[in-house]
Amino acid sequence: ETGVTQTPRHLVMGMTNKKSLKCEQHLGHNAMYWYKQSAKKPLELMFVYNFKEQTENNSVPSRFSPECPNSSHLFLHLHTLQPEDSALYLCASSQPRQSSNEKLFFGSGTQLSVL
């Protein structure tokens, strides 16, 4: 148990559906992240929040919409996704960005399939 909880573990959705991924961390961290992991590819950073403020958006399509209501919770709202968006979506947390020893703690991920 890493202290970062993601739900749901698995999600199957159609291209017209709207769904949300949820992440909660119990580690007292102030930075939270969404990563995408597609088969045989490196982890791709999607969004970064530092102290609830979005500090990075890596050219992610608008069909992915993050929300960070507080330092412990992070959501990823999904709508009108494409089949190529099928991947493992990982949430992570760490001490604030720019710290000299940043280490990530990951949730178990949501395996998303878009039909």
Binding mask 6-45 for another protein (x = CB under 8 A): ----------------------------------xxxx-x
Element (H, E) at 44: strand 44-50
In the set 3, 28, 54, 55, which binds another protein (CB under 8 A)?
Answer: 55
Cα gap 113→82, rounded to integer Å: 10
Nearer to another protein, 58 or 70 (CB): 58
Q: Is the dihedral of CA 62, 59, 94, 2 positive or negative?
A: positive
Beta carbons within 10 angstroms of residue 25's beta carbon: 24
Verify binding: residue 100, another protein, rule CB under 8 A.
yes
Verify binding: residue 113, another protein, rule CB under 8 A.
no
Smallest gap, in angstroms, from Cβ of residue 16 to another protein?
Answer: 28
Is the separation of the CB atoms in 61 and 77 below 8 Å? no
Q: Which residues bind another protein (CB under 8 A)?
A: 2, 40-43, 45, 55-56, 90, 97-109, 111
